[in-house]
């Protein structure tokens, strides 16, 4: 069975501070995919990143960066120099290989980020 | 514009009524999914469909039904058997690269 744990339920920071969101996962698959989604107050989920289990390189996209460590089953997400527009709920998710039946996403419980001006 | 549309945005239901949530996509994606989100919670899978005329139960299918008669459409019916249907419902599609795209959601409230 797959499981995703986001231990931080809510993080509050002041604008321009960095914030790191933790994500720990469990899976028996040797091939899998990890995702981060952002859910602003409007409710729609916005895709941020997809990472496959073979690629452990860290990735940076603007103020966003991701640290994938297979040895600790973690896929952490950092927002550098946070802005008020970053306020949202962020979800980490795990998926079986695309050839697996259903190929569903297993979501963590989400971390609410509140960036204060 | 390409994307996923869900309607209505807000839906109110009396106890004992069946209601149907619409999900339409013009992305030409084969797979479609329905998720339920409760306040302060992550998303849980209700049903999914990988091709037309085929669908599978997810983790919380009881009290729900779906159909997939067309590639573009995957409606979800919340039946009276669903004891606690008040939630936010999200529809998603998936292309071959595993990335799921989400619609704007329908917020269902039972009165």
With bands split at pLDDT 50, 70 and 90, how would you rate the model's confidence at B100?
confident
- Tokens 């995702």, residue? A35
pLDDT digits (tens, 9 = 90+) for A88-107: 999 999 988 766 656 778 99
B88 contacts on A by Cβ (under 8 Å): 43
pLDDT confidence bin for B39, thresholds 50/70/90: confident
Tell me whether residues A102 and B100 touch, CB distance under 8 A: no
Strand partners of residue A74: A24, A69
How many residue pairs from chains A and B have C-beta atoms closer than 8 A?
61
Backbone CA torsion sign across B32, A110, B7, A41: negative
Tens digit of each residue's pLDDT (9 = 90 or more) over B12-22: 988 889 999 99
Residue B96 corresponds to which tokens in the numbers above? Answer: 């071959």
Q: How high is the mean pLDDT of chain B?
A: 92
Q: Cβ contacts of residue B19 below 8 Å, gap of 6+? A: B11, B13, B77, B78, B108
Q: In whole angstroms, give the CA distance from residue B100 to residue B111.
A: 32
Give the list of residues 6+ apart from residue A116 with CB closer than 8 angstroms, or none: A12, A13, A14, A15, A84
What is the per-residue pLDDT across A16-56, written as a single tens digit (0 to 9) for each?
999 999 999 999 988 899 999 999 998 899 999 888 888 88
Is residue B97 predicted with pLDDT exceeding 60? Answer: yes
What integer pLDDT is reported at residue B34 of this predicted model?
Answer: 96
Full DSSP string of B5-25: EEE-SEEEE-TT--EEEEEEE
What are the φ and ψ backbone dihedral angles of B80, each rounded to 5 degrees? -70, -15
**A18 vs A1, more confident:** A18
Q: Which residues of B touch A98 (CB under 8 A)?
A: 96-98
Residue-level pLDDT at A58: 82
pLDDT at site A99: 60
Cβ of A44 and B56 within 8 Å?
no
**Which residues from A are below 8 Å from B56, CB to CB?**
101-102
């Amino acid at each position: 069975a797959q499981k995703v744990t986001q231990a931080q339920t809510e993080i509050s920071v002041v604008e321009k501070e960095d914030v790191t969101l933790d994500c720990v996962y469990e899976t028996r698959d040797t091939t899998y995919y990890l995702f981060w989604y952002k859910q602003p107050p409007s409710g729609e989920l916005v895709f941020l990143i997809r990472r496959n289990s073979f690629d452990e390189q860290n990735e940076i996209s603007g103020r966003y960066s991701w640290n994938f460590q297979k040895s600790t089953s973690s896929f952490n997400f950092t927002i550098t120099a946070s802005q008020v527009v970053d306020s949202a709920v962020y979800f980490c998710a795990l998926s079986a290989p695309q050839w697996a039946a259903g190929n569903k996403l297993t979501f963590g419980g989400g971390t609410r980020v509140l960036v204060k001006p | 514009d390409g994307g996923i549309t869900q309607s209505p945005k807000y839906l109110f239901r009396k106890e004992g009524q069946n209601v149907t949530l619409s999900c339409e996509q013009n992305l030409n994606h084969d797979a479609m999914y329905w998720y339920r989100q409760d306040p302060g919670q992550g998303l849980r899978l209700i049903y999914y469909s990988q091709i037309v005329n085929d669908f599978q139960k997810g983790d919380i299918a009881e009290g729900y039904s779906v159909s997939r008669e067309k590639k573009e459409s995957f409606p979800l019916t919340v039946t009276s058997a669903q004891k606690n249907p008040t939630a936010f419902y999200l529809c998603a599609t998936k292309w071959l690269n595993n990335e799921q795209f989400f619609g704007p959601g329908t917020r269902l409230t039972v009165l």
